[in-house]
Structure 1
Amino acid sequence: RWLCVVGGWDGSRRVATVAALDTERGAWEAWSAAPGSRPPAGLSSHTCTRVSDRELRVAGREGGTRTQRRYGSVYTLRLDPGARTYSYKEEGCHTASRSGHCAALLQTPGPRPGHQLLLFGGCNSAEPEVAGHWSHGKLGEEPPAAPHLREQLARLVSTGQGSRQGPRGLRHHSCSVVGPFAVLFGGETLTRARGTICNDLYIYDTRRSPPSWFHFPCADQGLKRVGHRTCLWNDQLYLVGGFGEDGRTPCPQVCILDLFI
């Protein structure tokens, strides 16, 4: 029922407040901080990942108007829809300083099942970073989504050469979880002086330990995107919004990922 917006830049400063769209009424509401909440000073270019119906995991650099911490912080954000309140709790772990990264909640590969929240990009490092771990049974198991797309992705990676190293210096890209795969697309690379806006597809395959990266370039220059989103719906992956090749022109098109194998 609720679509929540957490933190961001309001035009003059970073904020950490929560606003929620009530999809039944079609109206936005500004929720209030619950007593005991310890919110960050402000957040922008952060991630917010649903862990359960009432719990989110927020990862990013805390900061005010002009300054930010030199490292990333991790927060658990609990929601109370009945009271229209929220509560922040800072976790004990810190991450590398990342901005414009993405996050993916994936099943843990190997003999000990569970889930972990991985952060990709937003800094010069190509290595993903763990921002949360849950043992088996801690998170509610959901039925497998997008069986056809999962099969397509499995066939696609079977045609490629896997690598232990992911994209370096990628930010403001998109990320969607499709079963055991994290699918990253587009973004801005920090490793080039020109042509920094990308249209590359990266797939992070967690079916085996250690996981592997697969890189698939795209020939269509019109699909270069930064600041966009991909969303999984009805066994399709949709590309929505963002800016184009120049990094300034908004893209109104909605595209569907087609895999020709």
Structure 2
Amino acid sequence: MTRRCWPTAGCAWWGAGTAPTGSRPCAAGTPSRDSGSAGPRGPPMTPPWGSAATPVPRYKEEESRTASRAGHSAMLLRDAGGYQLVVFGGRDSSDCEVAGRWGKGKIHVESIHAPKMTEQLSRLVGSENGSRQAPKGLRHQSCTVVGPFAVAFGGETLTKGRDTVCNDLYVYDTRCSPPSWFRFPCSDRGQKRVGHRTCLWNDKLYLVGGFGPDGKTPCPEICVLEIP
């Protein structure tokens, strides 16, 4: 397996593999989602969703609201009183908003233990000056919570007419009062991503999918963030 590194100021994404191509075919006899689909050995089957016998899950609107957003990120972060849900991006603004607060014992959160990544992020932001302003006009970025940090990457900016796909790494540090944002730019165009996902697993932060620099070509690479 060939590994590829894209340098970022103070960190890098390493190629960890390639996603499989093609789609997985349905097994023989698997019904489709049409209400008149025939089962493998019987009359047409009625789908479980929407039937009178099965309740349909739905979202219930809360009393609190945020500014209108699309392509934003939401982060459930610990604070002194418990937890708060913070949203950013998805509009032509750098404002962060607290969408909700919960006291200690009100909700149960299973945090992923990532001591190595947490220590690396702490060292990374320790040499930089932070800002209280969130990324301005950014949407369709990825965002993953790592201990007291939230790590955002890529996305596209609403403040540019051209070359809107980004490859900057942002770290949101909640240990500060007030919390601060740290930006780490990258000059490598090959690392630009929009509509991708990041996932924390086994003390590593993985980058999967999304569109590349042109905003149109899907990316098959699976990469892992490496901080020296």
TM-score by length of 1: 0.65
Q: State the 1:34 CA deviation.
A: 9.8
Q: Higher Cα Rg: structure 1 or 2?
A: 2
Q: Write the distance in 1 (CA, Å) between the matches of 2:51 and 2:84.
A: 27
1:232 has 2:200 as partner: yes
Q: State the 1:208 CA deviation.
A: 2.1
Long gaps (5+) in structure 1 = 1-29, 36-82
Which residue does the alignment assign to 2:76?
105
Q: Write the distance in 2 (CA, Å) between the matches of 1:249 and 1:223.
A: 13
Which residue does the alignment assign to 1:194?
162
Which residue does the alignment assign to 1:211?
179
Name the SS for the 2:59 alignment partner.
strand
CA RMSD of aligned residues (A): 1.9
Q: Percent identity?
A: 61
Long gaps (5+) in structure 2 = 1-46
Which residue does the alignment assign to 2:141?
173
Cα 1:31–1:158, aligned 2, differ >3 Å: closer, same or farther?
A: farther
Q: Write the distance in 2 (CA, Å) between the matches of 1:146 and 1:157.
A: 17
Q: Which has the higher contact order (CA 8 A, sep 6+)?
A: 2
Cα 1:141–1:97, aligned 2, differ >3 Å: closer, same or farther?
A: closer
Contact 1:34–1:86 (CA under 8 A) maintained in structure 2: no
Larger relative strand fraction: 1
Q: Write the distance in 2 (CA, Å) between the matches of 1:33 and 1:114.
A: 37
Residue type of the alignment partner of 2:123 = R
Name the SS for the 2:121 alignment partner.
helix
1:1-261 matches, cutoff 5 A: 32=49, 85-108=56-79, 112-142=80-110, 145-260=113-228
Name the SS for the 2:128 alignment partner.
coil
Q: Write the distance in 2 (CA, Å) between the matches of 1:104 and 1:177.
A: 7
Q: Write the distance in 2 (CA, Å) between the matches of 1:33 and 1:135.
A: 36
Q: State the 1:142 CA deviation.
A: 3.0
- Superposed CA offset, 1:212-243 (max 9, x none): 01000123211100000000110000000000
Contact 1:164–1:212 (CA under 8 A) maintained in structure 2: yes
Contact 2:111–2:147 (CA under 8 A) maintained in structure 1: no
Q: Give the length in aligned residue pairs.
A: 181
- Superposed CA offset, 1:187-209 (max 9, x none): 00011112110000000100122
Name the SS for the 1:198 alignment partner.
coil
TM-score by length of 2: 0.75
